[in-house]
Structure 1
Amino acid sequence: MCWKKCGGGSRHPGRSGSRVRYDYAVVGGGIVGLATARALGRQHPGATIILLEKEMGPAQHQTGRNSGVIHSGIYYTPGSLKAQMCAAGVQSMTAFCEEQGIAYEQCGKVIVATAPEELPQLERLYQRGLDNGLKVQLLSAEEVRAYEPHVQALKGIRVSSTGIVSYRQVSAALVDLLRDSGAEVRFGVKVERLTASADGYDIGTSAGDFAARVLVNCAGLHSDRVARLAGADPRSSIVPFRGEYYELRPERRSLVRGLIYPVPNPDFPFLGVHFTRMIDGSVHAGPNAVLAFGREGYRKLDLNLQDLREVLANPGFRALARKHLREGAKEMLRSWSKATFVRSLQRLIPDVTAADIVPCAAGIRAQALSPDGKLVDDFLLIDGPNALHVCNAPSPAATSSLEIGRAIAARVPGVARRRSFSLTRQGVPA
């Protein structure tokens, strides 16, 4: 069946009534959506592609508000999508930056144990790094200070492949590449309605109606809602966790040379506050992890009643909150008390004082939560007829974005041959 009279390979979208028709529609203008649209165009030369983003520019949420780290993959379960795509993503992301003239630096990081009870977990983390094929080095206290003179630690791990970059700059370059290739990138266009049709999806938006043979949902904070609009079961719900940061005053940046992380608490699903030197030379301290009262609630008092009602009515969230009640209370205290936040930082660098740091912009982690109250640990890709939904892509999704895009594009050819397709292995790309 021909998609339009001029053939599926035309760069000009067809029309049916008032709807503009495309071969592929990508929802979401964060780095994963942009990378996916680019990968689709490279995999299917001549295909008509549109990317729809409700904000007025790219990378306005998770992508543009994260710490800008090119992650090594040391934390992730061997064999998981995160571990595989992150390791490959380090290579593809740095190669992309080289090609596009985007500043980056592989400065490495240290993960440090500051108390005796953290040493067994540090050893396990070192072994995981080896299992994931990384170049990791165990450090004595003296060796830690050789890399980070102001850090107080018992032992540490050096991960040399970790780097820093501006993902906003990477996203801007992807937008330019998409437009140069003939793809259409539309900002300020909110998807409001999705209706499955014989030929794909009718897409109702704030800027009119479109249609596409294939829908790819990369909507991040709203990915579960977009999946449901399309009639898919995301098997999870997004819970927004705000991560708040402070920034070292310029005259105190010398306290940090690169990236300094604590040993993560194995019973709490976040990495703990740490120090990150950004590509612009600034140094950020954080983030904590507190429930946001809205999916885009970047400030403490931001409130979206619909979002908050959804979270509080979710039995899975209530189970999660009960399990992590003590740690959650500590995170809330750290959110409201600068002195408590500083004490957490002083475990890594005792010389840091409250006068050395000032608040800076927060970010929100779009974390998928399963109905049984467990945080979805891996990237989660859900298939539907003529559609694929990226329903969990928190960190290290930015590092892995080019690999995620390639994995999605590699599954799409089946759609071009059949009216519908289905992913294997419970929605995970083979």
Structure 2
Amino acid sequence: MAYDCDVLVIGGGIVGLSAAYAVTRSSPGTRVTVLEKEPGPARHQTGRNSGVIHSGIYYRPGSLKARYAVRGAAEMSAFCAEHGLPYEITGKLIVATDRAELPRLHALVQRGRENGIPVRELGPAQITEYEPHVRGLAAIHVGTTGVCDYGAVATRLAEASGADIRYGSEVTAITRRPDGVVARTADGAVVSGRVLVNCAGLHCDRVARLAGDDPGIRIVPFRGEYYELARPDLVRGLVYPVPDPAFPFLGVHLTRGIDGGVHVGPNAVPALAREGYAWSTVRAGELAGTLTWPGSWRIARRHWRYGAGELHRSLSRRAFTDAVRRLLPEVTEADLRRAPAGVRAQAVLRDGTLADDFLFREGPRTVHVLNAPSPAATASLPIGREIAGRALAAMGAMGATPAPAAGPSAR
């Protein structure tokens, strides 16, 4: 068959665009096409987060998250500097406000050191040297954390990749052939490639099933709601609570962004649609998919207390403010102004386990990225190389060399 490209990427967020960038840099002459259903890049997870360049302190030593976040933080800063994109290495505080949190804080110190991250332990007086308005019993300072504009990074990756990027191209059907993969889009276009790479984020499990592969997980969407701080002078940099290790969420934190504004959040509540950025957004089919997945009910049974607290903070500005005041006592309800929400694509196994690490699976001529929530933006350049290596290996197994351009009849 005549191919439109060698590597066909579904998804124009930062992971998909990093994969395209890595393929063309690793193997010049390899033709890459990216299909993105939105009219531009980075419209969902990439463009709806707090913009933090994570250090990697939270993640289990030796895990992909730990390795790629540590490496990715340095590479992301270098990429921004090379391409003239705004970024700043600010450092951050992780603050214990209750004695019960102190053992977890000390565990983070050890984890950070195992991951090769510079960590400084602080007492109450030293906390106020960094953040005069923040109060806590103890804290750690992580010097390699920073902020950037991931939407701008994604746009630059798209430009630098040299890929054929087709926006407004929602994939509705995939056919796997002995010598390649063919995708059909909602507007009737047909695009063929030797290898398909699934970086569809919130829809990655659906795309895997379209390709005929069993992902073994279901994406359960969690909405993260943000506020903007009306008095940004209360926060100098980044301030986080001590996270609960039972959950992949970091808790409500304070983030001074690259624009100087301070974001407060996010919480983590079930979304009623894959792109459910408000309670009013409900898609019955997607909600039914979540509710019929056995893992969803097992999560609910295990963690209903945690979930009830998150729901309360979602529905009550006062409760949300109380959570923030643990770190920033001066804040009031009037200081919090609603900001755009995000949705986290959390992979959940059938037994209710929340996938804790980046998750890749392969089928014949397909590579699926099935769990890439935070810190995926930070780690996107190493993740892109991982994906590129798998895609190029799949091409090599086919004895393939970069494909000639397809004729008009194949488009």
Q: What is the TM-score with the length of structure 1 in the denominator?
A: 0.91
**Alignment correspondent of 2:105:** 122
The residue correspondences of 1:148-297 to structure 2 (distance < 5 A) are 148-178=131-161, 181=162, 183-207=163-187, 208-249=189-230, 252-297=231-276
Alignment of 1:70-81 (within 5 A): 70-81=53-64
Give me the whole-angstrom Cα distance separating, in 2, the residues matched to 1:293 and 1:54.
20
Which one of the candidate residues 338, 349, 360 is aligned to 1:381?
360
AA of the residue aligned to 2:179: D
Within 2, Cα distance between the matches of 1:104 and 1:32? 19
- More displaced 10-residue stretch of structure 1: 406-415 or 61-70: 406-415
- Provide the residue aligned with 1:105 in structure 2: 88
Note the alpha carbon deviations across 1:57-109, whole angstroms, 9 max, x for none.
00000000011000000000000000000000011111100110001000000
In 1, the alpha carbon distance for the partners of 2:149 and 2:393 equals 35
In the alignment, structure 1 residue 350 sits paired with structure 2 residue 350: no
Q: What is the identity percentage for the equivalent residue pairs of Structure 1 and Structure 2? A: 53
Q: Is the contact between residue 197 and residue 391 of structure 2 (CA under 8 Å) also seen in structure 1?
A: no
CA distance in 2 between counterparts of 1:162 and 1:307 reads 35
Give the structure 2 partner of residue 332 of structure 1.
311
Indicate if the aligned counterparts of 2:113 and 2:119 stay in contact, CA closer than 8 A. yes
Q: Which amino acid aligns with 1:243?
A: G
C-alpha distance after superposition, 1:190-227 (max 9, x if no partner): 11111110211011112311110010000000000101
- SS of the equivalent of 1:64 reads coil
AA of the residue aligned to 1:238: I
Q: Which amino acid in the other structure matches residue 319 of structure 1?
A: R
- How far did residue 169 of structure 1 move? 0.7
Q: Which moved more, 1:306-315 or 1:374-383?
A: 306-315
Paired AA for residue 278 in structure 1: G
Q: For residues 413 and 121 of structure 1, do their structure 2 counterparts lie closer, same or farther at Cα, with a shift above 3 Å needed?
A: same
Alignment RMSD (CA, Å) = 1.2
CA contact (8 A) 2:95 2:139 kept: yes
Q: Secondary structure at the match of 2:56?
A: coil
**1: distance between equivalents of 2:168 and 2:228?**
31
CA positional deviation for 1:314: 1.2
Give secondary structure in 1 for the equivalent of 2:79.
Answer: helix
Can you list the C-alpha shifts for 1:314-346, whole angstroms capped at 9, x where unaligned?
111100011110110010010010000000000
Unaligned runs of 5+ in 2: 401-411
* Pair 1:94 & 2:77 matched: yes
1:137 has 2:112 as partner: no
C-alpha contact (below 8 Å) 1:386/1:420 kept by paired residues: no
Change (3 A) 1:226 1:138: same
Residue type at the aligned position of 1:404: I
Amino acid at match of 1:34: L
Unaligned runs of 5+ in 1: 5-15, 422-430
SS in 2 for 1:194: strand
Equivalent position amino acid for 1:379 in 2: F
Alpha-carbon distance in 1 for matches of 2:175, 2:44: 26
Q: How many residues align?
A: 399
The alpha carbon displacement at 1:420 in A equals 8.8
Shift in Å, 1:232 = 1.2
| Bigger RCO (CA 8 Å, 6+ sep) | 2
Contact 1:292 1:300 in 2 (8 A): yes
Letter in 2 for 1:213: R
Secondary structure at 1:316 match in 2: helix
Distance 2:384 2:251 in 1: 29
State the SS of the aligned residue for 2:144.
coil
Q: For residue 178 of structure 2, what is the amino acid of its counterpart? A: A
Q: Separation in 2 of the partners of 1:420 and 1:315?
A: 41
Given that 1:107 and 1:163 are in contact with CA atoms closer than 8 Å, whether structure 2 keeps it comes out as: yes
CA–CA distance in structure 1, aligned partners of residues 78 and 361 of structure 2: 29
Look up the match of 1:314.
293
Q: Distance in 2 between matches of 1:209 and 1:411?
A: 24
Q: How far off is 1:257 after superposition?
A: 0.4
Q: Does the aligned pair in 1 maintain the 2:7–2:391 contact within 8 Å?
A: no
Distance apart, 1:412 and its partner CA: 2.8
Deviations 1:350-377 (A, max 9, x none): 0000111100100000000001101000
- 1:172 deviates by 1.2
**Which residue number corresponds to residue 391 of structure 2?**
412
**Equivalent residue, structure 1, for 2:28:** 45
Report the counterpart of residue 10 of structure 1 in structure 2: none
Query: What is the letter of the counterpart of residue 255 of structure 1?
Result: L
**Residues 1:195 and 1:101: Cα distance change in structure 2 (over 3 Å):** same
Contact 2:17 2:158 in 1 (8 A): yes
* Whole-angstrom CA distance in 1 between matches of 2:254 and 2:347: 26
CA–CA distance in structure 1, aligned partners of residues 101 and 394 of structure 2: 49
Decide whether the 8 Å contact of 2:367 with 2:390 is kept in 1. Answer: no
